[in-house]
Amino acid sequence: MALPKLNTPTYELTLPSTGEKVRYRPFLVREHKVLLTMAEADNEEVSRIVKELVDVCTFNQLKIQQLPHFDIEYIFMNLPKSISEIVEVTVTCECGEKIPASFSIDTLAVEKNPEHNSKIMVHDDLGVEMRYPHINEVVDIFVSKDNDKVIDLIINCIKGVFNNDNYWEAVDQTKEELSEFVLSLTKEQFDKIEQFFVTAPKIVQIIECDCPACSKHNTSRLEGLHNFFV
């Protein structure tokens, strides 16, 4: 006789980018085993594992390849509920002491900057519209901090360029044309576009703990998926 099938609990969360309600289920044991391989995985493999786990745990109802990275991060951070709602982390004090700490998944916050805008005016009558990067586009940036990769990310995330009369879709331009456009910006204009990424929604957790070695009260800010795994 076949064994009975277990009922897996389902939950609901709100996507930070759109406010859409999404159903999801927590990790199962077989998926948790996959998660454990991330420690040895390279950046490309990490993004693939995260996307696949998010996709299966949200019942394949989302267009995973098109989701902003912070949507993926937010869903992913909620998936361990079947294992534990408490996440264990390590805080490093200024004195060098490693302090065990923890937080509840339910206290994760989505930080939204009121000045954030996807349309950036780089001149009086010329603007750039940006899209949010996907998770595979940002994982490598977090690790390498390579300036050339940052510029490539900005080029890839241009949705269009516009003025008072026209809108030029990025998909209609060559990579060389978009690159030439970005490289011809002044430093001030480039910084304005860079602020789109700096002020984009973030998954944030504040950790407070006292150091047993020097008694200093530590307040640490964890921000983004990469920070939670470091």
Residue 143 within a domain: yes
215 assigned to some structural domain: yes
- Those residues whose C-beta lies under 8 Å from the C-beta of residue 213, and which sit 6 or more positions away, are 93, 95, 97
Residue with tokens 């070695």: 213
In a domain, 168, yes or no: yes
Q: Are 27 and 53 in contact (CB under 8 A)?
A: yes
91 and 139 co-located in one domain: no
Does 164 share its domain with 187? yes
What's the domain range around 158? 119-198
Report how far residue 45's alpha carbon sits from residue 93's, in angstroms, rounded to the nearest whole number.
Answer: 31
For residues 18 and 86, state if they share a domain.
yes
Kindly report which listed range (14-18, 124-128, 144-148) carries the lowest average pLDDT score.
144-148
List the beta strands (DSSP E) in the chain.
Answer: 11-14, 21-24, 86-92, 98-104, 109-111, 119-123, 126-130, 158-163, 167-169, 202-210, 217-223
- Tell me if 5 is assigned to some domain: no
> Is residue 89 within 8 Å of 228, Cβ to Cβ?
yes
For the chain, how many structural domains are there in total?
2
Fill in the DSSP letter of residue 27: P
Q: How far apart are CA 87 and CA 80, in angstroms?
A: 9
Q: Are 82 and 28 in contact (CB under 8 A)?
A: yes
Whole-number percent of the chain with pLDDT over 70: 90
Q: Contact 185/122 with Cβ under 8 angstroms?
A: yes
Q: Is 101 helix (H, G, I), strand (E, B) or coil?
A: strand
Tokens standing for residue 190: 């480039």
Query: Do 194 and 206 fall within a single domain?
Result: no
Residue 6 domain flag:
no
pLDDT at 48: 87
Mark whether 49 and 66 lie in a shared domain. yes
pTM of the model: 0.81
Cβ atoms of 47 and 135 within 8 Å: the answer is yes
pLDDT (tens digit, 9 = 90+) per residue, 211-229?
999 999 999 888 866 555 4
pLDDT for res 115: 92
Long-range contacts, stretch 1-10, CB < 8 angstroms, 24+ apart: 8/82, 9/82
**For all residues of the chain together, what is the average pLDDT?**
87
Question: How far separated are the first and last CA of the chain, in Å rounded?
Answer: 46
Q: Please report the pLDDT score of residue 139 as a whole number.
A: 76
Q: Are residues 213 and 103 in the same domain?
A: yes
